[in-house]
A and B are shown apart, each in its own frame.
Chain A
Amino acid sequence: MYIDFRREFAAAAALTVFGVLFAAFAALFLPLGSFASMGPGMFPIIVGLLIFILGVAHGAVTFLAYRRAIDPGEGNSEPIQWHSLVVVVSAMAGFSTVIKFFGLIPAIIVLTAIASLGSEKLTIRHAFLIAIGLVLLAWLVFVWALGLPFTLIDWPF
């Protein structure tokens, strides 16, 4: 497996930027105090700076490896699953939105419906059966066994 240098540099950049922002927030908005009597900002600024330093170090190590590499290429690490990412995030967002207004059962149906777009092997008939199964499971485990006050179905208008 080849190293994907772009991803390694991206990791270094992400760590560096996160560290700087985290430390900067502490420096700007939180009292630092002294080491004998630390304010709320002291520990965060140390943590932020350490992340920044480690990010820079990772960048440097990656850069050295990149220079030495015989053929940097593009690497062939795990491909990014854009399709799955969008489907999964939309399915969860759908659940979160629907459960607030319409209750649990519609939320599960929406979740399954959107999630089923993720795999071409999952037919509509299967998705339908899964949705029914999950509704029953939700009722059995969370409502009946654990006795949680879920609104099963609701109409807000």
Chain B
Amino acid sequence: MGTDLFGQFLGQLALGFETALSLENLLFCAIGVTLGTFLGALPGIGVLVSMSLLFPITFHLEPTAAIIMLGGIYYGTTYGGSMSSILLNVPGTPANAVACLDGFPMARQGRAAVALSITTLSSFFGASVGILVIMLFAPTIAAYALEFGPAEYFSLMLLGLVAASTISPGSPIKGIAMVFVGIAIGLVGTDLNSGVHRYTFGLLELRDGISLLAVAMGLFGVTEVIASIRTVKQGDVSRESISFLAMIPTRDDMRRFWMPSIRGAAIGSFIGALPGTGGVIASFLSYATEKRVSKTPEAFGHGAIEGLIGPEAANNASDQTAFIPTLTLGIPGSPALALILGVLMIHGVSPGPSMVTERPEMFWGLIMSFWIGNAFLLILNLPFIGFWVRILTIPYYILYPAILFLVCIGLYSVNNSVFDMWMVVLFSLFGYGMRIMGLSAAPLILGLVLGPMMEIQFRRTLIFSGGDFTAFVDRPISAVFLCVTAVILGWTLLSFIRSKSKPVEQAAMGE
């Protein structure tokens, strides 16, 4: 690597910091991570609910500020989510579920304060490693991806969708079906090639497609409220044990801190960058790893601090590296990133390999804002922890009117359109129906965002090849993506059939 290249890299970092440190972006980064921590800490409000509740606000901002704030909400929830895992034994977000295993026993032993502070430290460590990985690899991947043609894009999107819908728990058939339902919903509106209106039923409001906002809010925000009003129980936390002094880890704690953090960050960085995987899988893998390498595996589940440190480093690292495929290829690996991509597209920015060269201030500004956001989170979570602990005790019956209010006013503020409001009502009904039938909404959102792009690339490939389907396997990269897709599909279906064909009792087949 020549000095020129290095100088160029430093120049881009400087540009990024300059963007991220502008007063406006700094402010929205702080607001984003604060709101993210707040909503993440509340049980029953995960990352998707938080993002869909707050992204109308980002609508009214400059694109760079909007994406910085939305990013802050996204990784802020993971910090907040571990608090309710540790103190209430209820994961604030699914990625923090593992933190319950050893975090809650630690709290029962009177070490809640240390559990919280060490979690924050390992989260920060994991996130830092993740950001370094983005800085090193994202520009290279983007440069490589400039070579991609429509066949590669189509195959990669298919791979991402299949991976995301089959790796998550539950029936893979239903997961894949929901991806296609999402694609179907994404097809509503004007066909870009022919100008024909599809599935609009004569409604002019549907010409531009169904609003991603309305779908996300209905399927995540409102559906969650309907399911939670009568079921969520109020948290009960003793506040006395969380003093600032009690938060200082012992020397022994710090000695046990580094290796799990490093392993967790490595696992998380790798898992996060893959399509379809994310914080949940990263944290489970890290927990399993820590348990395996530990000399005292029997302590796990009874307050082993390694079981808290590793997974929390892993899920925060994966939150950061998940941005790699989204920013460099324009292909989100998880529903949360699909929402971020959707918001970018609404702002007229199409992320992809050309973003690095065409919008360097946005690309590097966002990455540098991750440093700032994580530094804010460190401050928010260490000295001000007492405040967040109080948040956990807000009863749900006070929260849910506020959530509905955010949905309504947020959506209405975007277009002042009553039609959009009825769409959110419709999708709330759909969303609750889907929940009752066990049909997951997360793959649907991925399909919805990727569907229109997939159709374009699919058509382009076949126009170039004159209708010849071998075009998808002729190009080696595309062929590799399709092979991996086929392997994942085959492996999932095989293990699914195997699990179903065992003569099991009903009870074992449930969750």
- Find out whether the CB atom of A3 lies under 8 angstroms from the CB atom of B509: yes
Interface size on B (CB < 8 Å)?
Answer: 71
- The answer to whether A152 has its CB under 8 Å from any CB of chain B is no
- The answer to whether B242 has its CB under 8 Å from any CB of chain A is no
- The answer to whether A144 has its CB under 8 Å from any CB of chain B is no
- Find out whether the CB atom of B199 lies under 8 angstroms from the CB atom of A100: no
Determine which of A19, A57, A142 lies in contact with B173 in the assembled complex, contact meaning CB atoms within 8 Å. A57
Residues of the B chain whose Cβ atoms lie less than 8 Å from the Cβ of A25? 199
Determine which of A43, A51, A57, A108 lies in contact with B455 in the assembled complex, contact meaning CB atoms within 8 Å. A43
Residue of B nearest to A121 (CB): B397
State the Cβ distance, B271 to closest chain A Cβ, in Å. 27
Determine which of B405, B413, B506 lies in contact with A71 in the assembled complex, contact meaning CB atoms within 8 Å. B506
Residue of B nearest to A104 (CB): B409
Q: Complex Cα distance A78/B408, Å?
A: 27
- Find out whether the CB atom of B177 lies under 8 angstroms from the CB atom of A40: no
Residues of the A chain whose Cβ atoms lie less than 8 Å from the Cβ of B507? 1-2
Residues of the A chain whose Cβ atoms lie less than 8 Å from the Cβ of B428? 88-89, 92
Q: Complex Cα distance A108/B187, Å?
A: 34
Determine which of A26, A37, A70 lies in contact with B506 in the assembled complex, contact meaning CB atoms within 8 Å. A70
- Find out whether the CB atom of A148 lies under 8 angstroms from the CB atom of B413: yes
Residues of the A chain whose Cβ atoms lie less than 8 Å from the Cβ of B451? 47
Q: Complex Cα distance A30/B181, Å?
A: 19
Determine which of A22, A77, A88 lies in contact with B184 in the assembled complex, contact meaning CB atoms within 8 Å. A22
State the Cβ distance, B38 to closest chain A Cβ, in Å. 14
Q: Which 10 A-B pairs have the closest CB atoms?
A: A36-B467, A1-B510, A96-B421, A35-B467, A11-B437, A54-B177, A40-B191, A119-B397, A40-B196, A122-B397
- Find out whether the CB atom of B500 lies under 8 angstroms from the CB atom of A61: yes
User: Which residues 487-511 in B have Cβ within 8 Å of A in the complex?
Assistant: 500, 503, 505-507, 509-511
Produce 1/0 per residue, B174-195, CB < 8 A to A: 1011001101100100010110
- Find out whether the CB atom of B506 lies under 8 angstroms from the CB atom of A142: no
Residues of the A chain whose Cβ atoms lie less than 8 Å from the Cβ of B439? 11, 14-15
Known: A96-B421, A99-B408, A100-B418. 12 other contacts (CB 8 A): A25-B199, A34-B467, A36-B463, A36-B466, A40-B198, A54-B173, A71-B506, A80-B436, A81-B229, A88-B222, A88-B225, A131-B401
State the Cβ distance, A101 to closest chain B Cβ, in Å. 10
- Find out whether the CB atom of A58 lies under 8 angstroms from the CB atom of B229: no
Residues of the B chain whose Cβ atoms lie less than 8 Å from the Cβ of A85? 226, 429, 432
- Find out whether the CB atom of B400 lies under 8 angstroms from the CB atom of A115: yes
Residue of A nearest to B175 (CB): A54
Q: Complex Cα distance A38/B180, Å?
A: 19
- The answer to whether B395 has its CB under 8 Å from any CB of chain A is yes
Q: Indicate the member of A10, A22, A92 with the most B CB atoms within 10 Å.
A: A92
Residue of B nearest to A22 (CB): B184
Q: Indicate the member of B57, B396, B413 with the most A CB atoms within 10 Å.
A: B413
Q: Complex Cα distance A153/B176, Å?
A: 47
Q: Complex Cα distance A26/B315, Å?
A: 42
Residues of the B chain whose Cβ atoms lie less than 8 Å from the Cβ of A133? 402
